[in-house]
């Protein structure tokens, strides 16, 4: 993306200026008393992690106090089929082979999204979590093999390679820093790469009795999944039918059928909403409002749904079931480790158990934190505000929580029941230790660098190759604004900054960064992305002026009209609006703002220090220390 330094004699200012003030981004929430509201307040990540933990505890208690009831229950045979076509499953296999395919399907959807429009679209931004993830795969496996050498189960190194994404995100929400935004993005991107590695290893290392013919049929089904996107209607039933057929082919091929979920998900299209689709949906909604009837309601609902990619619709639809049903059931079916004295004594002396504990706790920490530390030392990749070494250390420790896929590979890699129990003890112990270590690291980090202190200084220095800079790069005075194009107080601040520029001229450098308050201004994010799309044609500040000039009309059609007014190539502008680079550029500024606890706009940094108090021209000049500059008018 092209950014530029503006050197004209005046800032491109709008004509109207509202009253001064400020607006908070996080309005107070009313108190709720119901259990459902309490669960909703936890958020899906925390609630899902708590359910996963509860299911684990129940499974352990059930396996230890119920005699053989736990094993007998999960070995219950089921028959599914029609006429002569029948499949026989145990309850345990149904969970691990069928329900877990849905989990891996959502993992695949997330992988697809991150590579298409998410964090992994920019190589410079992605290389940090990618390299950290690769090191986090290799180092634990190496440590496990070294510790388990001679046990006969060195080949079970796959148990220690994977981080449990659900527990990772839930644990970060429970014990992580108060504002974990950029760390969360880093860990999610790392988890995506981690999942790709783990799934590949399951496919190539832990697959037995391979039969290529069903896999060829699966390839035909996957081709059908890809081309289903071109059907005008009824795509949902076609996707579902082909998905079942592909899953059955994987099952017959000997390749673990859960991988069918990943393969299907990678072929599901993902894209950012198209302006024309959004406008069409709005038009149908207006038609329904004018003449409410069933047909218009159906058309409006379908149009709104179709404006969002099926990838994101499926994630939104399936995520609650995965978090609240599938993963807890998986834990219930797989975490039932018997913890009698004999098994614990065996685990304490087992090279497999210790290999897993050391691989997950030490290996993940050394691999992830060590790789990111080396990249920071050699200035490779992009580390934004919030990704401090101490926070990265806490995140690296959390990566040692290897639960879902680790337990999954235990059954694939180990056939001895006693050794399986020892391995499960190792997975549970390692996950608990990793959680405790991460908690300690985060508490020490937060105590050493309180949020209030870190937010007083501009965390990311101005970069003319990245930032939108108005004025000379050599100017002695600098104002950086985190703003929102729909915020009336940002409009007021822009007027004050113009007055300061009139006084100081080339002595002032002004920088705009995005902090759209979407909870207050629904169109603010779209406006920020429009400004970034305009910047790719060298007209960021022209678009800034156009957006400020009419803050009440910033719908997609209004934005396209302004693009034409300021002389942009409208087709290119519309294409750029949908690009992941534009969305990523705005998201980076938002994460920077979050790392500095910016919750209201405008937030100004004057010569690198946060400004508290009024932002009229006279106060700004005083804060800059420029009261004695030649040409300043006396007040």
Assign residue 434 the CATH number of its domain: 1.20.1530.10
CA distance 501 to 66: 77
Identify the band that residue 454 occupies on the pLDDT scale cut at 50, 70 and 90: low
Q: What is the CATH number of the domain that holds 502?
A: 3.40.30.10
Distance CA 179, CA 26 (A): 13
Q: What is the pLDDT of residue 630?
A: 54
Spatial CA neighbour of 71 closest among 329, 326, 258, 332: 332
Same domain (yes/no): 278, 410: no
Closest by CA position to 319, among listed 525, 169, 428: 169
Q: CA-to-CA distance for 115 and 311, rounded, in angstroms?
A: 13
Q: State whether 160 and 67 are in the same domain.
A: yes
**Percent of the chain whose predicted confidence (pLDDT) is above 70:** 90
486 and 349, same structural domain? no
In the chain, what are the helix, strand and coil shares in percent, each to the nearest 5?
A: 65, 5, 30
- What confidence tier does 207 reach under pLDDT thresholds 50, 70, 90? confident
Task: Please give the angle made by the CA atoms of 286, 291 and 294, to the nearest 5 degrees.
Answer: 100
> Residue 87 falls within a domain, yes or no?
yes
pLDDT tens column, 465-504: 889 999 988 999 999 999 999 999 999 999 999 999 999 9
Q: 421 and 565 share a domain?
A: no
For residue 25, tell me if it sits in a domain. Answer: no
Q: Alpha-carbon distance 412 to 547, whole Å?
A: 58
Alpha carbon distance 370, 393 (integer Å): 9
Please report the pLDDT score of residue 21 as a whole number.
Answer: 47
Same domain, 291 and 432: no
User: What is the rounded CA–CA span in Å between residue 627 and residue 621?
Assistant: 6
pLDDT of residue 155: 94
In a domain, 454, yes or no: no
Exposure of 103 by Cβ count < 10 A (0-12 exposed, 13-18 middle, 19+ buried)? Answer: buried
* Beta-sheet strands, E only, within 19-117: 23-24, 77-82, 85-90
In the chain the first and final C-alpha atoms are separated, in Å, by 42
The answer to whether 332 and 58 are in contact (CB under 8 A) is yes
DSSP 403: -
Are both 154 and 76 inside the same structural domain? yes
The pLDDT assigned to 511 comes to: 96
Quote the pLDDT of residue 41.
61
So what's the pLDDT on residue 408?
Answer: 86
Task: Return the minimum-mean-pLDDT range out of 139-153, 264-278, 471-485.
Answer: 264-278
63 located within any domain: yes
pLDDT of 211 above 60: yes
In a shared domain, residues 264 and 131: yes
In a domain, 490, yes or no: yes
- Which one has a higher pLDDT value, 313 or 86? 313
318 shares a domain with 200: yes
- 333 preceded by cis ω (within 30°)? no
Looking from the CA of 552 toward its CB, the CA atoms found within 13 Å total: 2
DSSP three-state, residue 87? strand
The whole-angstrom separation of Cα 208 and Cα 188 is: 31
Q: Is the dihedral of CA 303, 307, 311, 312 positive or negative?
A: negative
Counted domains in the chain: 3
Same domain as 365, residue 292: no
Residues 318 and 405 both lie in one domain: yes
Confidence of residue 382 (pLDDT cuts 50, 70, 90): confident
Q: What Rg value do the Cα atoms of the chain yield, rounded?
A: 28
Residue 352: pLDDT band (50, 70, 90) is very high
Tell me which residue range forms the domain holding 491. 468-624
This prediction has a pTM of: 0.75
Q: Six-digit token pair at 135?
A: 């090191």
Alpha-carbon span 186 to 387, nearest angstrom: 8
Measured CA to CA, the distance from residue 160 to residue 358 in angstroms comes to 9
- Cα separation, 157 vs 145, whole angstroms: 6
Phi-psi region of 81 (alpha: psi -120 to 50; beta: other; left: phi over 0): left
For the chain, the maximum distance between any two Cα atoms, rounded to a whole number of angstroms, is 95
Residues 6+ apart with CB under 8 A from 381: 124, 125, 127, 128, 131, 375
Residue 229 domain flag: no
* 86/587 Cα distance (integer angstroms): 50
- Statement to judge: residues 169 and 318 lie in one domain: yes
Q: What value does the mean pLDDT take over residues 49-74?
A: 89
Output the 3-class SS for 138-197. Answer: HHHHHHHHHHHCCCCCHHHHHHHCCCCHHHHHHHHHHHCCCCCHHHHHHHHHHHHHHHHH
pLDDT in tens, 587-611: 889 988 988 889 899 999 999 999 9
Binned at pLDDT 50, 70 and 90, residue 197 comes out as confident
Angstrom distance (rounded) from CA 470 to CA 11: 7
pLDDT of residue 117: 79
Lowest mean pLDDT among 77-81, 178-182, 301-305, 314-318: 178-182
DSSP string, 435-467: HHHHHHHHHHHHHHS-HHHHTTB-SS---TTTS
Distance between CA 522 and CA 312 in Å, rounded? 20
Determine, yes or no, domain membership for 20.
no
226 falls within a domain: no
Dihedral angle computed from the Cα positions of residues 233, 234, 239 and 245, in that order, rounded to the nearest 10 degrees = -130
83: DSSP letter: T
Residue 88 sits at φ, ψ, to 5 deg, of: -110, 125
Same domain assignment for residues 266 and 293: no
| pLDDT bucket at 119, cuts 50 / 70 / 90 | low
Which residue, 418, 448, 478, sits at the end of a domain?
448
CA gap 575, 570 in Å, rounded? 9
What is the rounded distance in angstroms from the CA atom of residue 45 to the CA atom of residue 180? Answer: 13
Indicate whether 265 pLDDT > 80: yes
Report the C-alpha gap between 456 and 622 in whole angstroms: 18
CB atoms within 10 A of CB 614: 13
- 247 pLDDT band (50/70/90 cuts)? very high
pLDDT interval class at 225 (50, 70, 90)? very high
Nearest to 193 by CA among 252, 127, 265: 127
Integer angstrom CA distances of residue 100 from 187, 458, 494, 565, 635? 22, 45, 53, 53, 71
**Cα–Cα nearest to 312, from 113, 166, 577, 169:** 113
Whether the pLDDT of residue 635 is over 50: the answer is no
Among 113, 122, 110, residue whose Cα is nearest residue 270? 113
In this structure, are residues 490 and 481 in contact, taking their beta carbons and an 8 Å threshold? yes
Name the token pair of 162: 């994977």
């Amino acid at each position: 993306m092209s950014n530029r330094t503006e050197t004209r004699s005046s800032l491109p200012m709008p004509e109207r200026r509202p009253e001064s003030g400020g607006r908070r981004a996080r309005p107070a929430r009313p108190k709720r008393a119901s259990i459902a509201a309490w669960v909703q307040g936890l958020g899906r990540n925390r609630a899902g992690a708590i359910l996963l933990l509860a299911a684990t505890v129940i499974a352990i208690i059930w396996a230890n106090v119920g005699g053989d009831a736990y094993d007998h229950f999960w070995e219950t045979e089921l028959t599914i089929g029609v006429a002569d076509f029948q499949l026989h499953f145990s309850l345990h296999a149904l969970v691990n082979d069928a329900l877990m395919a849905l989990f891996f399907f959502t993992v695949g959807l997330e992988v697809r999204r991150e590579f298409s429009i998410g964090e992994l679209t920019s190589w410079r931004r992605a290389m940090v979590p990618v390299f950290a993830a690769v090191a986090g795969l290799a180092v634990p496996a190496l440590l496990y093999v070294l510790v388990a050498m001679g046990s006969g189960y060195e080949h079970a190194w796959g148990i220690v390679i994977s981080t449990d994404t659900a527990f990772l995100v839930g644990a970060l929400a429970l014990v992580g820093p108060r504002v974990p935004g950029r760390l969360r993005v880093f860990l999610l991107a790392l988890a995506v790469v981690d999942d790709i590695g783990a799934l590949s290893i399951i496919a190539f290392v832990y697959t037995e009795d391979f039969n290529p013919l069903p896999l060829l049929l699966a390839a035909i089904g996957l081709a059908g999944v890809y081309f289903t996107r071109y059907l005008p209607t009824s795509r949902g039933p076609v996707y579902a039918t082909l998905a079942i057929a592909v899953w059955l082919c994987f099952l017959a091929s000997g390749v673990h059928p859960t991988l069918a979920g990943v393969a299907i998900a990678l072929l599901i299209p993902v894209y950012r909403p198209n302006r024309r689709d959004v406008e069409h949906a709005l038009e149908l909604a207006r038609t329904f409002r004018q003449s409410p009837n069933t047909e218009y309601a159906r058309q409006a609902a379908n149009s709104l749904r179709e404006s969002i990619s099926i990838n994101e619709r499926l994630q939104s639809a399936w995520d609650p079931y995965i978090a609240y049903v599938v993963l807890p059931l998986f834990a219930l079916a797989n975490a039932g480790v018997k913890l009698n004295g004999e098994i614990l004594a065996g685990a304490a002396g087992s090279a497999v158990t210790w290999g897993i504990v050391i691989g997950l706790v030490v290996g993940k920490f050394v691999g992830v934190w060590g790789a990111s530390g080396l990249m920071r030392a050699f200035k490779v990749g992009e580390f934004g505000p919030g990704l401090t070494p101490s926070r990265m250390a806490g995140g690296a420790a959390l990566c040692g929580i290897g639960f879902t896929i680790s337990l999954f590979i235990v059954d694939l890699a180990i056939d001895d029941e006693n050794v399986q129990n020892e391995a499960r003890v190792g997975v549970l112990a390692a996950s608990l230790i990793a959680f405790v270590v991460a908690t300690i690291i985060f508490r020490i980090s937060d105590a050493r660098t309180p949020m209030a202190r870190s937010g007083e200084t501009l965390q990311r220095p101005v970069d003319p190759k990245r930032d939108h800079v108005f004025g000379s790069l050599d100017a002695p005075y600098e104002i950086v604004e985190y703003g929102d194009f729909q915020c009336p107080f940002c409009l007021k601040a822009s007027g004050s900054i113009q007055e300061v520029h009139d006084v100081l001229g080339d002595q002032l450098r002004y920088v705009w960064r995005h902090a759209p308050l979407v909870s207050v201004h629904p169109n603010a994010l779209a406006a920020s992305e429009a400004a970034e799309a305009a910047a790719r044609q060298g007209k960021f500040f022209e678009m800034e002026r156009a957006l400020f000039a009419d803050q009440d009309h910033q719908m997609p059609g209004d934005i396209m009209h302004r693009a034409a007014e300021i002389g942009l190539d409208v087709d290119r502008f519309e294409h750029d609006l949908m690009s992941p680079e534009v969305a990523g550029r705005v998201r980076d500024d938002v994460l920077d703002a979050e790392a500095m606890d910016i919750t209201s706009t405008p937030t100004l940094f004057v010569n690198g220090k946060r400004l508290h108090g009024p932002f009229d021209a006279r106060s700004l000049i005083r804060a800059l220390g420029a009261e004695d500059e030649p040409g300043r008018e006396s007040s």
